[in-house]
Structure formats: structure tokens, C-alpha cells
Amino acid sequence: MDWTFWLEWVLKGFVLCLVLLTGFAYLTYYERRALARMQNRIGPNRAGPQGLLQPIADAVKLFFKEELTPARAYKIVFFLAPIVTVVPSLIIAAVIPWGTSFQLFGRTITLYVADINVGVLYLMSIASIAVYGIVLAGWSSNNKYAMLGGMRSSAQMISYELALGLSFVTAILLANSMRMIDIVNAQSSWWFVVIQPVGALIFWIATLAEVNRAPFDMPEAEQELTAGYHAEYSGMKFALFFMAEYQKMIVICAILATLFFGGYLGPFVDKFWFLGPVYMFAKVFILLFFMIWVRATWPRIRYDRLMSFGWKVLVPLALAVVFITATGILLAQELNNQLYFWAIPFVSIVAAGIAVMMIYRELRRKAYERA
């Protein structure tokens, strides 16, 4: 293995980190402008033309903002907790394929940092690390409100990770592989969102809870008395938590696009390699808009209902979706009849409809009891 391999690997990792950091900065601008348009406001428009320099102005402000450390905080852990939270949001993108490959200086350059056989398992394991950073941030602050916020956030993230992991399983079953590139290539005929729309919806809902986005943003609800696990953080330490959330938004939308929306596949991508990243960016851009739209539309869920929805609705529904997908694939292979395979989306939608009816009946019953 020559030195050029390591140089290529380091350069691709550096470019990916640079893209994610730039994307984080301008995702804040994208969100503020989109929310302003939905709420009939203007949004940031002062720093630069159309406010395009606003993320840079915010970065400069955070650089010079005073950092305060509580006197009785566990200082080493207090310092490391934001780093433990932000690093997984960067390295988790290493196995996401952003395109095919191209020739440069006689070498074949692939548009991904790493290609491992258990790429989906890598995603699930790295995504779980962020829980430690959040709970350690609350504990190390030596503040009971921050500690409660950290515990509440970790409980929420662990609960919704079960449904998230099961939605990964549906994509693995459909592609018959845990390798990300195999999952993308398996969608050359049909995107998996067509075959298993309920699995894609479960993934979408679970990821909203994983990154503490509305309506699942209870762990860092700024309207409450304290903000949650980062109540004692300020300056660049707070900016790292902020950075982790928005970078995870980008990465999660990229994972969703890869698993269920064909990834970088699109017209003429086999002839023009640069179309792969363009298609990927377009899909991530659209999925981010829906994430912003949810924030502008849905009110925050009460915490007990949030946990109840995760354990009593999403987890059983995700188990049912995995069972339906596996059964449909097995029957189609054993009986050599594709009708069983194409029955998967219809049966899954029926199962989701039953879940919605059960939620509606439960809400009606509670409303009747209150009355």
C-alpha cells in the first residue's frame, strides 16, 4: 500500500469535513430564510447580499464571545463533552457514497472516504456515541437542571434508536447487503421508498427525535426555564453543540437519501460522474426543507407522549414492517412470484393505518376521561 493511498484518504476526509462544516454554517441561513418565508417575515438580510454573510458574522461573534465555566464543574469532562458530541457527526459520513468515481493522474478516485462491508452497522454504532456527549455535558455541569436535561435527552435518543435501527434493517433486507454502495446499486430500478414507504417514514420520524429537532426538541427547549443539558455552556463550547445538531441534520438526510431515495443515482450518472454529487445534494436539500417545514408546522410534543409514541407506536410498527418486508421477500423467492414482493408496500401501509387508528382512539379516550 503506497503513500498515495494515504494521501488520497486524508484529502478526501479533509474535503468531506470542510463540506460538512460549510454546510452547517449555511444550513442555519437556509433554515432561517425558509422559516421566514413560511411565517411571512424577511429573515437575515443585512450581512452581505441577501444576508449570505450572516453565517460568517455569527461565527465571528461566537469566537469572541466570553466562555464561562462553572466553578464546581468537572472541568475535564465539561471541556470534552462538546467534542464527544461533535466528532461523531463528522466521522459518521465517512461511509456515505456521494457519487461513483473518476480518473485523476492515472488513479481511480472514488467519491467516498471508506467502503466497508458493514457500512450500515458503522452508521448505527457511531450514531450512538453522541448520547455520551450529551449526558456527560449535563453531569459535568454540576447543575441539577442540566443533569435532568441530559438524562431526558439520553432517554429520548436511546428510545428512538430502536425504531431507527429497525428501519435500517428494512433497507438491509431489500438490498441483501450492509454495504452502502450495494444498497445504492440495488435501487437502480426502484427506490426503496416505493417498496417500503412506511420504513422510510419511520426512519424520518426517528431521526427527528435523534437530533432533537421539532417536534421532539424537548431536551433543549429554549422556551423552558433552562435550556437543558447545555444550560451552562457558552461561547465556542455551545457552538460545538449547535454545530453537532446541524451537521447531523445534513448527514441524516444523506443517509436517508442513500437508503431509501437511490443515493447518487439519477439520469446519465453513469456517463457523467459529476452528476452523482449533484443528485445527492439535490436530494439532501429537499429532505432538509421537509425537516425545516416540520419545525415550522408541528407544536412540541409533551415529554410523556413523546416517550409513549416511541415505545408504544414506532417500535411495534417498525417490528411489523421488518416482518412484512422479510415475509414478502421470502415468499417472492420461494414461490417465484413477484406479486408477494409488491404486496410489501400495501401491507405496510395497512399496518401504519392501524397504528394511526389506535393513536386516534387512545387520544379520544383520554379526551373523554378529562371531560
Q: What is the pLDDT of residue 292?
A: 92
Q: What is the pLDDT of residue 182?
A: 92
The residue with greater pLDDT, 171 or 230, is 171
SS (H, E, C) 306-343: HHHHHHHHHHHHHHHHHHHHHHHHHHHHHCCCHHHHHC
Cα-Cα-Cα-Cα dihedral sign, residues 307, 309, 312, 317: negative
- Cell numbers linked to 364: 379520544
Average pLDDT over residues 299-328: 88
At 185-211, the pLDDT tens digits run 999 888 999 999 999 999 999 998 888
Q: What is the pLDDT of residue 196?
A: 92
At 249-279, the pLDDT tens digits run 999 999 999 999 998 998 888 888 888 899 9
The whole-chain average pLDDT of the chain stands at 86
CB 249 within 8 A of CB 239: no
Question: Which is nearest to 77 in space by CA: 142, 154, 127, 129?
Answer: 142
For residue 295, is pLDDT > 70? Answer: yes
Average pLDDT over residues 179-190: 91
Q: What is the pLDDT of residue 221?
A: 61
Average pLDDT over residues 318-345: 87
At 151-165, the pLDDT tens digits run 888 888 888 888 999
Average pLDDT over residues 26-37: 91
For residue 367, is pLDDT > 80? Answer: no
Q: What is the pLDDT of residue 220?
A: 62
CA 298 remoteness from chain centre: 18
Quote the pTM value.
Answer: 0.91
Instruction: Show the beta-strand stretches assigned E in the chain.
Output: 101-104, 107-110
How much helix, strand and coil, in percent to the nearest 5, is found in the chain? Answer: 70, 0, 25
Question: How large a percentage of the chain has pLDDT more than 70?
Answer: 97
Per-residue pLDDT band for 370 (boundaries 50, 70, 90) equals confident
For residue 336, is pLDDT > 60? Answer: yes
Residue 188 host element (H or E): none
Average pLDDT over residues 26-51: 89
At 54-106, the pLDDT tens digits run 888 888 888 888 888 888 888 899 889 888 888 888 889 889 999 888 887 77
Separation between Cα atoms, residue 314 and residue 223, nearest integer Å: 27
Amino acid code (one letter) for 35:
L
Q: What is the pLDDT of residue 173?
A: 92
For residue 328, is pLDDT > 70? Answer: yes
Of 170-184, 211-225, 287-301, 307-321, the one with minimum mean pLDDT is 211-225
